[in-house]
Structure 1
Amino acid sequence: MNYQIGPWQFISNRCVITSNNLERELDPLLVKLLLHFVNKPQQIVSRQALIESVWQQSYVDDNAINRAISELRKQLAHPTEKAPLLKTHYRKGYSLTVVPEQLTRESVTEKPVNSISDSATDTTNSDDFTAATISKPVPEKNIKTLLAYTLLVITCICSIVWLVLFYTSEGAGDVVKQVTVNKVASTWNIGSEVHPELSSDKHYLAYTNVEPEQDFNRAFVKRLSDQREVEITYPGFQVSILSWQLNQHAVLLQATNLKQQQCEMVLVDLSQFPIIGDAKLIKKCDLRYTGYAQLDQNGEYVYYTEYKNEQDGSGLYKFDLELQKESIVIPPPGVMYGVIMPRLSHSGKKIAYILSQKGQPFSVFSYDFNTRETKRLFKAKRRTISFAFDWLSNDKGVIVFEDSDLSSITFNENNIIKHTLNVTPAISPYYIAVQSANSLFYSANKTQAFSLIKATDTFGDNPAYEPLYKSDNDDYSIVEVINKAGPAHVFVSERSGSSQLWIAQNGLTKQLSFFNYDDDSSTYKLRGLKVSPNKRRILLIKNKRFSLYDLSTQKFYPLEMLSGRKIESYIWSKNNESIIYIEQLDSKNRVVELNLLTRDTCVIEDIKANKLISDSEGNAYAITLDQLIRLADKQSWALPKNARKANVYGVSKDYFYYSDSISRIARLNLKEGTVQDTHVDFRPITFEVSSDNEILFTGAKYKDMQIIQISWDE
């Protein structure tokens, strides 16, 4: 059997690998070893599995395995391939980095039967039908009948075609076809490699690499023809890829200095690749609220999204580099999120973007600069946000990913035609870069790993950060509780394969819940833990439904009275019997207190809150656009400027805490009015503050992952 493995053809019966004029002979052990990897494409194969399947012994010396792997990797090394074809996964095993293709005569010449119409074109039946038609002349008296039937059939076919075109153009009745993709890893640096961007001529791939431990962003550009790669730096800053300048060999970077809270958009000339040209400052940016950006072909305008006011969402803006003047292209929608991920078409005549609204499926729109017409090209079915879309060549359409569904949308002035493929093996892209109508690069969703961190003396001279209950899968949303055995921590973890509630106490960790989920995608379906002031009950959300966990009875109780309500934020009241929540009604928010025993509700008037928080004693606070208000006595404090744009909050008796969820955490002294600010080496996603100002963080760090190229045949 012959296989194509990256640049090599593997001819197993001859024990050789060949590539153009190269031929290398493999010894029998290496042949068996390579065949085993061929049968496990892009799967991590453990050393024990190799011992059992290749050596077929109960024990093999580690040095023998090391020598065999080293020799096979050496034989597979190719002059034109920078990345190794055999990858070592520390303490896990080894894997082939490409998907081998079986080379047989049948796979080349055989035409698959894809549909009923294909299978109906059997040559034997066709010949028989022709012979019968010729041998039996049609009687003259039946000619009119035959013509009538023919016209009827043609009319029916035309009607069906018209209906198909009509519904397809409206995006309705979309037929999803299953397609198997070929997957090849395209990047090999250590770290999380994300956000692929292809130059307009498809010759260069740019991407961001994030070091897993330090969360330090680096930018790389690779020439696809020979895999030559360069790193782009900007002194004093870490850099990440934004986009390629339209139809130019210049890449736009976002350069940030987190400790100094600096952000700049920088254009780097790569026209003499691999020589890195000059870096040109395009404009200053806000690292927290400026999104994707792209420069037009002539370098006159840069298009970008930005939050001017988080509650209004983000809009699409155009910045004139000569006049140093900003103007609005697409205004903010007036709801959270808004316009994100704008991409210029190849001609520069249109721009496409994602419109995302909180709690709603996202849509992809195009905007014509000449006619100022906005057209919706795609509407998602699910509420999961994705940035995975890109233009097809010649402005003829876009490709959009929603989980493993790849939708190719082509359009003209009159029609929008959608064609959807369900990709197998399943993938979940977050960013994509389209290479052709049947090929693209992607970086996967869920790029960060969540872990629990206890911080002490965060704003002092000797801050300490202690990892808690670390597992191979995500841990998040931690609270302090008290049960019969004393104090403990309850948190959410995916260590058992899905989101479940766990308790850590006296050096032991135990699973509390055993929830079943409706589908395999169980990521973060258990969230929002809020503990009562007496530390004995926990409010949580499971699959978008509220439940109560009682530590004394060790039971879960569904809170059906909250079903169907648009609840934006919630906390416990001080009496341990009620919860306070913000409910969205139409476009307005109202604050409501619900007694869990009597189920009576009471609207708290005169509070226009966006967020509710409470301290460890149960004192409730509301956050408005510019104030912190204590509900018990309506005492208020003006929010610092940065706190008005923050999205994570906490409070203790003396301090109000807030974070940008990037790297900064600050606190306002409620007595003195002073502000302290500090930098942390992880992303503070959520946190809980204790009475002694100890902080329990859910922190996020990037995973080690690669950018993958996929291709498919239809």
Structure 2
Amino acid sequence: MNYQIGPWQFISNRCVITSNHLERELDPLLVKLLLHFIDKPQQIVSRQELIESVWQQSFVDDNAINRAISELRKQLAHPIEKAPLLKTHYRKGYSLTVIPERLTQANVSKESANILPDSLGISAKNEEIATATTSQPVQRKNSKKFLIYSLLVIICLCFLVWFGLFFINAPSSEKIKQITVNKVASTWNIGSEVHPEMSSDKQYLAYTNVEPENDIMHAFVKRLSDQREVEITYPGFQVSILSWQLNQHSVLLQATNLKQQKCEMVLVDLSQFPVIGEATLIKKCDLRYTGYAQVDESGEHIYYTEYKNEHEGSGLYKYDLELKKEFIVIPPPGVMYGVIMPRLSHSGSKIAYVLSQKGKPFSVFSYNFETHETKRLFKAKKSIISFAFDWLADDKGVIVFEDSELSTIVFDENNIIKRTLTVTPAISPYYIAVHSDNSLFYSENMTQAYSLIKATDPFGDNPEYEALYKSDKDEYNIAEIINKEGTAHVFVSERSGSSQLWLSQNGLTKQLSFFNYDDGSSTFVLGGLRASPNKQRMIFMKNKGFSLYDVNAQKFYPFEEFNKHKIVSYIWSKNNDSIIYVKRLGSKNILAEFNLVTRDTRVIEGIKANKLISDSKGNGYVTNDNQLIRLSDRQSWELPKNAKKSVAYGVSKDYFYYSDSISRVARLNLHDQTIQDIHVDFRPIGFEVSSDNEILFTGAKYKDMQIIQISWDE
């Protein structure tokens, strides 16, 4: 059913609102909200009514309602419509301020018919739809059953075309064609050279160099005309490149001192290159900050992404450097990882960014500062994360890479036109910097190598670190089992060309699994190894599914009961017969236990849980925003401040371990509440703690690599 709502046409079967050349796509929740308001035009609808009729629950968090109403109001905002179409009545509810008109199929505009998405299989021939102008008022006494049925159909259709929580215009595309590129190395320093950034006038290339052995970062700037290069330093800190100030010869650095846990964003003047000018502290940053930031042309604002709450994902923020005040540009979308890699267009009127959701393909969006309109410019095909996009000159479009497919998205007055080229020889960029319409610099994907490291007495006076099961390929994630021959380690390795389980015992290492990956998945498709307390079984994740391994039978079994839930964290129960898990349901986490013998599920009430941890004896613990709680007796400990921001945890009888996954590992003594803190010379991605407080780490180090320039002819 289609409606005219003020200046907008609402095409319900496509989940979009359109007006002239504007089109905004609505997610399923907003569609349900809008249909409810349409059914009650110019009536005040209470929050309780929305909870019961739209969410169809007995309780919904106030913040969830506020976000949904705010998003719907934002999407209904129109450049020429001053009064809001959705009005808030203080302590009473909300109302639609106009009376919608129901449109017959013939009323849908010709323009709307021409831009129906290909994903619904609708031909462009729909432009032949008649353009009669009859309409009729919405009947307020619509059948409730018909409305519910319509909602179900609409939601199903929406999920076919909807991604993320943003409102989009999908670009048209043409047949993929292959091009041959010329590749030239552009940097020659020893180390891992990553993250190329071009100045707005294309005269200078900035990049980060990482020493491969100790992961110390350096920042370099090269003048392309004569290849003159300078290193930028900031006393007491390691520095890495973030971006160039828009249309200026100043480069923004992220300066970090890991041992002192300091992080700063610093702007360095290079207008007198090769003389390095004054360095200005822009703002402090979070040590976990690994994204991107950029200062606008006037130097009044900096745009950046940041996690405020791990479960909400990253949002896009603007910081007023004079007022020292932060503003939200794009709110956190409620998914991991969220908004990342914002880039200002050359005019400064738009900002583009990557929206990445864990386990799903990424998209590139643009946001217009003047119209507040968000458009999706590109959607990836594979479930990968990539920062490989940049603006073309004069705001005329963007270039995006997905593996070896180069997509050029060009804007004309009325449309978004996408061209996709397959690059040969094959490359896999992670960052790119556009030099011209047919030339760019890139640094490779997979910048880091993963290995297993055993730490003995890491918090003592003489810590020892030993590399385990080292090969030329990545190793990660480790669990201890006991089979007929005794104790063994199972870990993930890519040494045979794909992620497989390997078994190491009595000095011998052999491949345990022979999984096929037909979907083109890359690193970390296999992981999450959790061995039962008796070491006889193991649960793990393969892609998006779960599996069990029986140690004695040496067989793998699918664990399909978990595949239908959004599992956040899981451990074995102490009795070895059940799995305790945290699943995400809407905006809430549910703690539950699944019995492998009876196949029954039991919800564990009264405990708020974000993550689950178990010690070597099988004792289970949960962490939430503020506490560590032992499941057996519900004894709790207050989390240290830094532990609340940590992403890797472990536990033993006496200690709670946590890490920022950058360089710091700490432990809280559960008896006297004292804290010990150490620095390691690798990134501690994850770890397992033994009963004698020996730690098995998954560590990461940068590879030796160069920045490459490619050019091509079409």
TM over 0.5: yes
Does residue 1:410 correspond to 2:410, yes or no?
yes
Contact 2:169 2:376 in 1 (8 A): no
| Cα distance change, pair 365–173 in 1 and its aligned pair in 2 (3 A) | closer
What is the aligned partner in structure 1 of residue 303 from structure 2?
303
Query: Shift in Å at residue 564 of structure 1?
Result: 3.1
Query: What's the % identity of the aligned pairs?
Result: 77
Pair 1:499 & 2:499 matched? yes
CA spacing shift, 1:165–1:412, aligned 2, 3 Å: farther
Aligned residue for 2:143?
Answer: none
Is the counterpart of residue 565 in structure 1 residue 528 in structure 2? no
In 1, Cα distance between the equivalents of 2:126 and 2:236?
56
- Deviation, structure 1 residue 616: 0.5
> Residues 443-471 of structure 1: CA distance to partner in whole angstroms, max 9, x if unpaired?
11111000111112111222211111111
The aligned counterpart of 1:256 is 256
Per the alignment, residue 200 of structure 2 pairs with 200
TM-superposition CA deviations, 1:377-419 (whole Å, max 9, x none): 2222222111111101001111111222221112256322211
- For 1:349 and 1:384, the matched residues in 2 are separated by 29
| Shift, 1:251, TM fit | 0.7
Q: Which residue of 2 aligns with 1:686?
A: 686
Q: Which amino acid aligns with 1:272?
A: Q
Change (3 A) 1:517 1:348: same
Q: What SS does the aligned partner of 1:311 have?
A: helix
Residues 635, 384 of structure 1: alpha-carbon distance in 2 compared, 3 angstrom cutoff: same
Whether contact under 8 Å (1:290, 1:304) holds in the other structure is no
Find the counterpart in structure 2 of residue 481 from structure 1.
Answer: 481
**1:247 is aligned to 2:247:** yes
Matching residue's letter, 1:434: V
Note closer, same or farther for the CA distance 1:175–1:357 as it changes in structure 2 (3 Å cut). same
The alpha-carbon deviation at position 244 of structure 1 amounts to 0.6
Alignment-mate amino acid for residue 206 of structure 2: A
Q: How does 1:462-611 map to 2 (within 5 A)?
A: 462-518=462-518, 521-611=521-611
**TM-superposition CA deviations, 1:217-252 (whole Å, max 9, x none):** 011111112222111111111100000111111111
Instruction: Describe the superposition over 1:283-342 as per-residue Cα deviations: whole angstroms up to 9, x where unpaired.
Output: 111121363111111211111111122222222222222222222222222333222111
Asked if the contact 1:549–1:557 (Cα under 8 Å) also holds between the matched residues in 2, the reply is yes
Residue by residue over 1:560-583, the C-alpha shift from the partner in whole angstroms, topping out at 9 and shown as x without a partner, is 232332211111111111111122
Range moving further from structure 2, 668-677 or 369-378? 369-378
Counterparts in 2 of 1:133-282, with a 5 A limit?
163=124, 170-172=170-172, 174-282=174-282
Identify which range, 538-547 or 411-420, moves more after superposition: 411-420
SS of structure 2 residue aligned to 1:181: strand
Whether contact under 8 Å (1:176, 1:421) holds in the other structure is: yes
Q: Secondary structure, in 3 states, of the residue corresponding to 1:564?
A: coil
Please tell me the residue identity of whatever aligns with 1:231.
Answer: E
| Closer, same or farther: CA 221–165 of 1 in aligned 2, 3 Å | farther
Output the TM-score relative to the length of structure 2. Answer: 0.75
8 Å CA contact 1:169–1:417 kept in 2: the answer is: no
Q: Which residue of 1 aligns with 2:449?
A: 449
**1:538-594 C-alpha deviation (Å, 9 max, x unpaired):** 111123221112221222122223233221111111111111112222332212211
In the other structure, the counterpart of 1:617 is: 617
The aligned residue for residue 329 of structure 1 is: 329
**Secondary structure in 2 aligned to 1:535?**
coil
Q: Gaps spanning 5+ residues in structure 1: where?
A: 1-161
Higher mean displacement: 168-177 or 603-612: 168-177
SS for the counterpart of 1:458 is coil
Amino acid at match of 1:448: Q
Match of 1:671 in 2: 671
Is the CA contact 2:501–2:513 (under 8 Å) kept in the aligned structure 1?
Answer: yes
What residue identity is the alignment partner of 1:629?
Answer: I
Does 2:435 align with 1:435? yes
Cα distance in 1 for partners of 2:412, 2:621 equals 53
SS at match of 2:292: strand
**Is the CA contact 1:198–1:206 (under 8 Å) kept in the aligned structure 2?**
yes
Q: Distance in 1 between matches of 2:533 and 2:185?
A: 50
2-structure distance, mates of 1:589, 1:202: 48
CA–CA distance in structure 1, aligned partners of residues 413 and 693 of structure 2: 60
CA distance in 1, matches of 2:392, 2:303: 19
Q: Which amino acid aligns with 1:277?
A: G
Q: Distance in 2 between matches of 1:449 and 1:245?
A: 32
* Secondary structure, counterpart of 2:190 in structure 1: coil
8 Å CA contact retained: 2:593, 2:601: yes
Are the equivalent residues in 1 in contact too, given 2:359–2:544 (CA < 8 A)?
A: no
Which secondary structure does the structure 2 equivalent of 1:200 belong to?
Answer: coil
- 5+ long unaligned stretches in structure 2: 1-122, 128-160, 162-167
TM-aligned CA deviation for residue 606 of structure 1: 2.3
Match of 1:142 in 2: none
CA contact (8 A) 2:449 2:700 kept: yes
Matched letter for residue 357 of structure 2 = Q
1:629 correspondence with 2:629: yes
**Secondary structure at 1:540's aligned position in 2?**
strand
Cα contact 1:290–1:305 (8 A) shared by 2: no
Can you list the C-alpha shifts for 1:240-269, whole angstroms capped at 9, x where unaligned? 000011111111111100000111111111
Within the alignment, does 1:696 sit opposite 2:696 as a pair?
Answer: yes
Q: Which residue of 2 aligns with 1:388?
A: 388
Q: Name the CA shift for 1:570/1:174 in 2 (closer, same or farther; >3 Å).
A: farther
2:441/2:708 contact within 8 Å kept: yes
**How far does residue 420 in structure 1 lie from its aligned partner after superposition?**
1.4
Q: TM-score, length-normalised on structure 1?
A: 0.75
Q: State the alpha-carbon separation in 2 of the partners of residues 169 and 339 from structure 1.
A: 18
Contact 2:653 2:691 in 1 (8 A): yes
How far apart, CA to CA, are the structure 2 residues paired with 1:188 and 1:632? 57
In 2, Cα distance between equivalents of 1:241 and 1:473 = 28
1:649-678: CA deviations, max 9, x gaps? 111111111111000111111121222111
Shift, 1:171, TM fit: 2.6
Query: 1:521 deviation in Å?
Result: 4.7
1:291–1:170 CA distance, 2 compared to 1 (3 A): closer
Matching residue's letter, 2:286: D
Matched with 2:130 is none
Q: CA deviation at 1:372?
A: 2.3
- Cα pair distance change 1:252/1:170, threshold 3 Å: closer
Q: CA deviation at 1:173?
A: 5.5
1:702 positional shift: 0.4
Residue 361 (str. 1) matches residue 358 (str. 2):
no
Please state whether the residue corresponding to 1:193 is helix, strand or coil: strand
Q: What SS does the corresponding residue of 1:291 show, helix, strand or coil?
A: coil
**Aligned amino acid, residue 491 of structure 2:** F
Partner Cα separation in structure 2 for residue 505 and residue 224 of structure 1:
54
Partners of 1:215 and 1:681 within 8 A in 2: yes
Cα contact 2:451–2:468 (8 A) shared by 1: yes
Q: How many residues align?
A: 553
Please give the alpha-carbon distance, in whole angstroms, between the structure 1 residues aligned to 2:519 and 2:340.
Answer: 28
- Call closer, same or farther: CA 1:312–1:516 in 2, change over 3 Å: closer
Contact 2:172 2:416 in 1 (8 A): no
CA distance in 2, matches of 1:314, 1:204: 30
Instruction: Give the Å deviation of 1:535.
Output: 1.4
Contact 1:429/1:445 (<8 A) preserved: yes
- Deviation by residue 1:106-128 (Cα, 9 ceiling, x = unmatched): xxxxxxxxxxxxxxxxxxxxxxx
Contact kept? 2:169, 2:377, Cα under 8 Å: no
Q: What is the CA-CA distance between 1:164 and the residue it aligns to? A: 9.8
1:237 and 1:224 map into 2 onto residues whose CA distance is 27
